[in-house]
Structure 1
Amino acid sequence: MDPRELRNTFGRFATGVTVVTFQDGEAAGGLTVNSFTSVSIDPPLILVSIDRRARSHDALLQQPFVVNILAADQEAIAWQFAGRPQPDLQIGWEETEAGPRLTGTLAHLECEPWQAYDGGDHTLIVGKVTKYAYEQGEALGFYCGKFHKVG
């Protein structure tokens, strides 16, 4: 199976864009994640899929985190946390009980660790939602390797 063609096939599924943030030692850490889904309302569970090769993978495991659902005008933030530094980008942070979260997002979900599962070259992290909030607006989407406005 050709890995690039498989990735291209997966890319035909349009997704939203999130940044998962957490406390990484003394600093705020985060990574861009488009593999995010709701799992359960009762109990309130979500799932994120994290590449095992991601620099932040090990730091994220077994600690509270925040899923930040990006607004349509936050593409630079998505690139920043995907490992492509954006010169002059000012990132707004707010402290929560689950750790740091981004300001100006379309929505956020504060989570505590629930379970982690082997997902091949990824770890599937299920979090229990402890708090959440959302705003009106358009979302940042990802389709065929490019960002798009959704709404």
Structure 2
Amino acid sequence: MLKLNTLSPCEGARKEKKRVGRGPGSGSGKTAARGHKGARARSGYSMRAGFEGGQMPLHRRLPKRGFNNIFKKEYTIVSLESLNNFDNGSVVDVQTLIDAGLVKNNALVKILANGELNRSLTIKVDHVSQGAKEKIEAAGGSVEV
């Protein structure tokens, strides 16, 4: 019967570490399977990531395309439908959205006009679409950007 104290790994699943430099009888003595001389034979050798022995590395051979705007602002999108979870007349800002689990920390928030809002809310976020602003004000709420 199989019990915790009788468990053992399958045959061939565990392999002993190769012990190098332990004499000629081991098959990897003398140079310890490092070959003769050269950088790889020395202790402390480490090769830079992407190094291809002097050949032009792949990341330099491939063409670079496009443009990466370092000033681009990434907004986390919140739909109007999800704001119906808040109480009527409450103030909805970034911190309340984080507490509700709709937004992650340190995110810019933009509210889009997906769905309908049937509560009067005061909204203080980074950006609100024009359609969402109209729907919020139609529901009796206000927007502060």
The answer, yes or no, to whether TM exceeds 0.5 is: no
Q: Answer 1 or 2: higher relative contact order, Cα 8 Å, separation at least 6.
A: 1
Structure 1 or 2: more helix by fraction: 2
Structure-2-length-normalised TM-score: 0.20
Which structure would you say has the larger Rg? 2
